[in-house]
Amino acid sequence: MRRLLGLVGILVLAGCAIENPVVDQGRVEEATQQHFGSEFVPIDVGPIIVSGDHAIADWTQGDYGGRALYERGEYGWMLLLCSGDSIRRAENLKRAGVPDFNAGWIAEQLAKAEATLPPERLARMKRFVGTAADHERYLQALAAQ
């Protein structure tokens, strides 16, 4: 009986460390809403692909959009950078610090998920040119609209 209780205790503690993709996707969406959201111009987030400690969230807002790369850290999901089409490729994800396996899986799953999106939404995400780690100017421009 003692061993059984010990085993149950170990399983309960182990379960606390199991990642939950649905919860992670919700937290990444929340982080994207907080970072890019505006009461003036609504933001549409998704799809969100999570692999290990990295995630990509597609987002559109008005006539523009992009893809946000996140990393899970001590304080939750932190925005690493934002980009357009270039961050869809595994080699660029690797350059941004995403481990090989995760980069390949994210790129593959993102391609599958984006294949179901309307062409006009993909076109809005394509308008984000380059890569930016700091969107302060973007947020200021949005507030000025």
pLDDT the model gives residue 3: 64
CA–CA distance, 47 with 50 (Å, rounded to integer):
10
- Give per-residue pLDDT as tens, 50-87: 999 999 999 999 889 999 999 998 889 999 999 999 99
- Which residue is associated with the tokens 């595994």? 90
**Full DSSP string of 16-61:** HT---HHHHHHHHHHHHHHHH--SSS-EEEEEEEEETTEEEEEEEE
Strand partners, 83: 67, 131
pLDDT tens digits, the chain, 145 residues: what are they?
566 555 544 444 444 445 566 688 899 999 999 888 888 888 999 999 999 999 999 999 988 999 999 999 888 999 999 999 999 999 999 999 999 999 999 999 999 999 999 999 999 999 887 777 654 444 455 555 5
Three-state secondary-structure class, residue 123: helix
